[in-house]
Amino acid sequence: MNDATNNTTLTIGKVARRTGIGVETIRFYEREKLLPEPARDPSNGYRRYPESTVARLQFIARAKELGFTLRETRELLELRAGPATCGTVRAKAEEKLGDVRRKIEDLRRIERALRTLAEACPGEGALDDCPILGALEGGFGDGS
C-alpha cells in the first residue's frame, strides 16, 4: 500500500464523495481500526489516502448491508493483514466461510419464498385468494 510509484492520493473529502460515506464516518472508521491511519501532508497535516481506500470503504459499506458488524468486518479485513502465518489465515478464512455460507443459504430460502409469493400472485384478487401467502413463514429455523 505504498504509493511511492503512484502519486495519486486523495483528501478525506474526495474519498467521501467517491464512496458516499461521510468524512466523519471515515474518521470514525479510522478510530475503530477499520482503516489504517493514512499518511499526512507534512505542510498542513491533512490526511492523504491511497486510491485503494475507496474500494476498502465500499467493502465496509457492503459488509454492513450484509449484516456484518464492524468488528466482523474488521476481522475479514485483517485476514490478510494480521496473523503471522498462512496456516492461521487459512483457519480463520474457513471459519468465516462457514458464516458466509450460512447467510447465503438463509437468503436463498427468503428468495425462494419471495419468488413463490410473486408467482402465486399473478394479478388482481383479494388476499384470501392467495393460498401461498404463508410461504414466508415456516421457511426458517426448523430446517424446513
Residue 71 in the binding site for its own copies (CB under 8 A) = no
DSSP 3: G
Per-residue contact track with DNA, 11 to 50, x per CB under 7 A? xxxx-x----xxxxx-xx--------------xxxxx---
Cβ neighbors of 67 (< 8 A, separation 6 or more) are 103
SS3 at position 39? strand
* Euclidean distance between CA atoms 44 and 34, whole angstroms: 24
The three cell numbers of residue 44 are 498542513
Q: Which does 133 bind (CB under 5 to 8 A by kind): DNA, its own copies, none?
A: its own copies
Q: How far apart are the first and last CA of the chain?
A: 46
Nearest residue (CB) to its own copies, 20 versus 41: 20
Of 8-16, 26-34, 36-44, 107-115: span binding its own copies (CB under 8 A): 107-115
From the number of C-beta atoms within 10 Å of its C-beta (0-12, 13-18, 19+), residue 73 rates as buried
Q: Which of 22, 67, 70, 74 binds its own copies (CB under 8 A)?
A: 67
* Euclidean distance between CA atoms 21 and 15, whole angstroms: 8
Binding site for DNA (CB under 7 A): 11-14, 16, 21-25, 27-28, 43-47, 60, 64, 69-71
Binding site for its own copies (CB under 8 A): 52, 54-56, 58-59, 62-68, 76-77, 79-80, 83-87, 89-90, 93-94, 96-97, 100-101, 103-104, 106-108, 110-111, 114-115, 117-118, 121-127, 129-130, 133-142
